[in-house]
Amino acid sequence: MRSRSLGAAARFLVSASVVLLVAYVTAFMEAFTLENFPYYEHTDRWLMYKYGSAFYALYFIVSFPMFAR
């Protein structure tokens, strides 16, 4: 019984890690592709990539599992 709960916990951690990684990469790449769009200008581009992508990834963290169902 205990090994079954450890397996479920390990599966959850792996799934959560994959969702977190894919969400951040998706948000970062979307922000990165806006780099050459002429109507956007940022004073500190790398700060926007790092923190802006992290906050934008929060949306994907919630939405990716909902779409997977």
- For 17-69, the pLDDT digits (tens) are 998 999 999 999 988 887 777 777 778 888 888 888 888 888 888 888 777 77
* Alpha-carbon distances of 56 from 6, 7, 31, rounded to whole Å: 32, 31, 9
**Where in the chain are the domains?**
17-68
pLDDT of 31 reads 83
Mean pLDDT along residues 12-19: 90
Residue 1 banded pLDDT, cuts 50, 70, 90: low
What pLDDT, on a 0 to 100 scale, did the predictor assign at position 14?
A: 92
What are phi and psi for residue 67, nearest 5 degrees? -70, -30
67 vs 14, more confident? 14
Task: Phi first, then psi: give them for residue 40, nearest 5 degrees.
Answer: -110, 135
